[in-house]
C-alpha cells in the first residue's frame, strides 16, 4: 500500500471528526440563543451575563492553564482572547440588551461564515471557489427570509435597536477573525480554549467588580448557576474546544458555514421551548440555509 493510499483513510477520519465537532457546536450554539434569550428576559445586565460566562469558563480552565503554563504562546492567545473571548462576548451581550435576541441567530451565527469569507478574501487573498460562492448565496437567501420575517415582527421598535444589530455584526466579525487567526497560527484547540478562557476572566473580572453595573444578586442563585454552566462551560469552553478542533480538521470556511444552520435550528427549537410560532417563511429559510451549509461544507477547497 502506498503512502497516498494510507493517507486517504486518515484524511477521511479527520474530516469525519471535524464535521462531527462542528455539528455539536451547531447544537450547543442553537441552545445558546435560547438560553441567552431567557437571560435577556431576566434582570441580569449584559455585564452580568459576560461576567458569568468568563467566570465559569475561566475557573474550569484554570487548572489546565497551570499545568501547561510554560508551553502556552501567551502573545497569540491574548490576541485570540481579544477577538474570540472579550470582544465577542461583550458585543453579543450588549446586542442582547438593545435588540431582540432573535436577531442574534441571524446576524451573529449567520454572519460569521460571510465575515470569514470576506476577511479571508480581502486580507489573505483566499477567494472562495464557485461552489463555495453558490453555497454562501443559498445560505444568504435563507438567512434573508428568516431575517425579514424576524425583523418584521418588531415593527415600531425603539430607534436604538439598530445599535444592537450593529453589535451583533461586530460580534460576528470578531469571531470570524478569531477563527482565521486560529488556523493561521496553528494554535492547538486545547491551548486556544483554556488560554482564551483564563485571559478573558483575568482581564474582565477586575473591571466588572470595580466599575460596571450589576444585578446578579436580584435573580435566584440557581438561575445564575444554570446560566453559568451553559454559557461558560458548554457554550464557551466545550463548544469553543470543539469549534477550534473543527477548524483544524475542515478549515475555517467550512466550519463557519455550518454555523449558518444555527438561526434555523434556534427558530425551530423556540417553538416548544419559548412558545414561539413557526410558519412557512421560516421553514423555507431553514431549508435554504441547510442546503447552503451542506453544499459548502462538503466542498473540498483548493489547496
pLDDT of residue 300: 55
- Render 204-227 in DSSP notation, one character per residue: HHHHHHHHS---GGGS-HHHHHHH
Inside any domain, residue 198: yes
Cα dihedral sign for 159, 160, 164, 167? positive
pTM of the model: 0.82
* HEC secondary structure over 163-185: HHHHHHHHHHHHHHHHHHHHHHH
Inside any domain, residue 136: no
Determine whether 173 is exposed, middle or buried from the number of CB atoms within 10 Å of its CB (0-12, 13-18, 19+).
buried
Cα dihedral sign for 111, 117, 121, 123? positive
Domain range for residue 221? 15-128+160-263
Inside any domain, residue 51: yes
Inside any domain, residue 73: yes
Alpha carbon of residue 112 to chain centroid: 8
Number of domains present in the structure of the chain: 1
Alpha carbon of residue 58 to chain centroid: 18
Inside any domain, residue 93: yes
125 by DSSP, 3-state: which? Answer: coil
Inside any domain, residue 213: yes
Contact 120, 253 (CB under 8 A): yes
Inside any domain, residue 154: no
pLDDT of residue 222: 93
Inside any domain, residue 280: no
Residue entry with cell 436580584: 218
Of 298, 222, 302, the C-alpha closest to 18 is 298
Query: What string of pLDDT tens digits covers the 303 residues of the chain?
Result: 555 445 556 667 878 888 899 999 999 988 887 887 777 778 888 899 999 999 999 999 999 999 999 899 999 999 999 999 999 999 988 887 777 666 777 788 778 888 888 888 878 777 777 777 787 788 788 777 766 766 665 555 566 777 888 898 899 999 999 999 998 899 999 999 999 999 999 999 999 999 998 999 999 999 999 999 999 999 999 999 999 999 888 888 788 878 878 877 877 777 777 666 666 776 777 777 777 777 766 655 544
Cα dihedral sign for 3, 6, 9, 14? negative
Of 107, 146, 172, the C-alpha closest to 290 is 146
Distance CA 200, CA 59 (A): 11
pLDDT of residue 152: 64
Distance CA 170, CA 174 (A): 6
Distance CA 213, CA 65 (A): 30
Distance CA 192, CA 237 (A): 10
Amino acid at each position: 500500500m502506498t503512502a497516498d493510499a494510507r493517507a486517504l483513510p486518515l484524511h477521511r477520519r479527520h474530516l469525519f471528526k471535524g464535521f462531527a465537532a462542528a455539528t455539536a457546536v451547531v447544537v450547543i450554539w442553537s441552545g445558546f440563543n435560547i438560553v441567552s434569550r431567557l437571560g435577556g428576559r431576566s434582570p441580569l445586565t449584559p455585564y452580568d451575563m459576560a461576567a458569568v460566562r468568563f467566570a465559569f469558563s475561566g475557573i474550569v480552565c484554570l487548572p489546565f492553564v497551570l499545568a501547561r503554563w510554560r508551553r502556552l504562546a501567551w502573545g497569540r492567545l491574548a490576541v485570540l482572547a481579544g477577538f474570540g473571548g472579550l470582544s465577542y462576548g461583550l458585543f453579543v451581550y450588549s446586542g442582547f440588551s438593545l435588540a431582540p435576541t432573535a436577531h442574534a441567530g441571524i446576524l451573529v451565527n449567520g454572519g460569521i461564515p460571510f465575515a470569514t469569507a470576506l476577511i479571508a478574501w480581502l486580507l489573505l487573498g483566499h477567494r472562495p471557489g464557485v461552489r463555495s460562492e453558490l453555497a454562501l448565496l443559498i445560505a444568504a437567501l435563507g438567512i434573508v427570509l428568516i431575517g425579514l420575517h424576524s425583523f418584521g415582527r418588531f415593527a415600531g421598535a425603539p430607534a436604538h435597536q439598530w445599535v444592537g444589530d450593529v453589535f451583533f455584526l461586530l460580534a460576528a466579525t470578531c469571531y470570524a477573525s478569531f477563527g482565521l487567526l486560529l488556523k493561521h497560527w496553528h494554535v492547538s484547540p486545547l491551548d486556544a480554549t483554556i488560554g482564551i478562557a483564563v485571559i478573558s476572566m483575568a482581564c474582565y473580572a477586575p473591571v466588572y467588580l470595580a466599575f460596571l453595573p450589576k444585578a446578579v444578586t436580584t435573580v435566584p442563585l440557581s438561575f445564575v448557576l444554570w446560566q453559568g454552566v451553559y454559557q461558560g462551560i458548554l457554550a464557551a469552553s466545550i463548544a469553543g474546544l470543539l469549534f477550534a478542533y473543527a477548524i483544524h480538521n475542515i478549515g475555517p470556511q467550512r466550519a463557519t458555514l455550518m454555523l449558518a444552520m444555527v438561526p434555523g435550528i434556534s427558530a425551530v427549537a423556540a417553538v416548544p421551548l419559548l412558545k414561539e410560532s413557526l410558519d412557512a417563511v421560516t421553514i423555507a429559510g431553514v431549508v435554504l440555509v441547510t442546503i447552503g451549509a451542506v453544499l459548502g461544507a462538503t466542498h473540498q477547497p483548493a489547496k
